[in-house]
Amino acid sequence: MQPDTVLVTGGAGYIGSHVVAHLREAGERVVVLDNLSTGFPEAVLDAPLVVGDVGDAGLVRRILKDHDVGTVMHFAARTIVPESVSDPLRYYGNNTAASRTLLEECQHAGIRRLVFSSTAAVYGVPDGGRASEETPTSPINPYGSSKLMTEWMLRDLAASSPLQYVALRYFNVAGCDLRGRIGQCTPNATLLVKVAAEVAAGRRAQLMIYGTDYPTPDGTGVRDYIHVEDLAQAHADALAYLRAGGQSITLNCGYGHGYSVREVVDAMSRAHGRPIPVQEAPRRAGDPPVLVAECQRIRDVLGWSPRLDDLDVIARSSLAWELRDGVSHAA
């Protein structure tokens, strides 16, 4: 019988913790490795947690052996785009160099399956605002570049070893566990839905709308928002695909349509029961007018079928978490 424990790096963070909960509910054996720099131990729920760094080769080696790991899901990374611009070496260290260490230990241990948490930031500003998996990669910040470099390492390692992988390029992840157990507690968050929920919950005074003169229906930027629970299901589907002998592949994770900033504000206002305060500001450099996923491939290849493609559901679950004082509970 092959080893079948799933190692989840960064499993105490926002997305990783939702995937851990999803895997555990499906009966999977899971072990989490997280240095808790941005994650929270409470977010891991009932899975064993090892506190440490993905870049610690000896620690990774022991976990792979001691826990009989057969699959790795790699989330551990820094993810704040402005921070990556101001401190690029931190991102290349945490996201790229540490990933190389992890991959080397996976190779030595004979790990054959890996699911990688990548990002739509690898596309940069695609022509027409829509990105398919064939869209040229052209990241415009160190965060996107650091993730793309890991994709390249995965590609090359898979070509020279038995490893097979699924790289999932996330678009705008939002929402929280519908049962209220875990949520997003990123300090100084920049993701729109999270910030809007913080404003509605009184954690911030107002929401800034950066750019109201884009060539979009209401002048504000349009993005593809995917509920974190649907994203967790995509990881479970990727695991099943690899276990069934699936070949290495890169897949977009989105819904294939977008919402504007004003539409997100309106949805959060509906969830809140009254308008949330906003302030308009000039565009930010590098923000594309539209960024939406072409995402038929993930449905065709993995059989993925999202259940929560509803902006109001995303807004309500995000606000419910904020109103539970989520900072003290989980990621």
- pTM score of the predicted model: 0.94
The predicted structure's pLDDT at residue 189:
82
Instruction: Count CA within 13 A, CB hemisphere, residue 3.
Output: 20
The predicted structure's pLDDT at residue 287:
80
Report the C-alpha gap between 236 and 31 in whole angstroms.
15
- Model confidence at 329: pLDDT above 60: no
Instruction: Count CA within 13 A, CB hemisphere, residue 25.
Output: 12
Task: Tell me the pLDDT tens digit for each residue of 194-253.
Answer: 999 999 999 999 999 999 999 999 999 999 999 999 999 999 999 999 999 999 999 999
Report the C-alpha gap between 58 and 62 in whole angstroms.
6
Task: Tell me the pLDDT tens digit for each residue of 145-173.
Answer: 999 999 999 999 999 999 999 999 999 99
Task: Tell me the pLDDT tens digit for each residue of 263-290.
Answer: 999 999 999 999 999 999 999 877 889 9
Go through the chain and tell me how many residues it has. Answer: 331
Rg (CA), the chain: 19
Active site residues: 143
> Which domains are present in the chain?
5-171+225-253 (3.40.50.720), 192-224+256-328 (3.90.25.10)
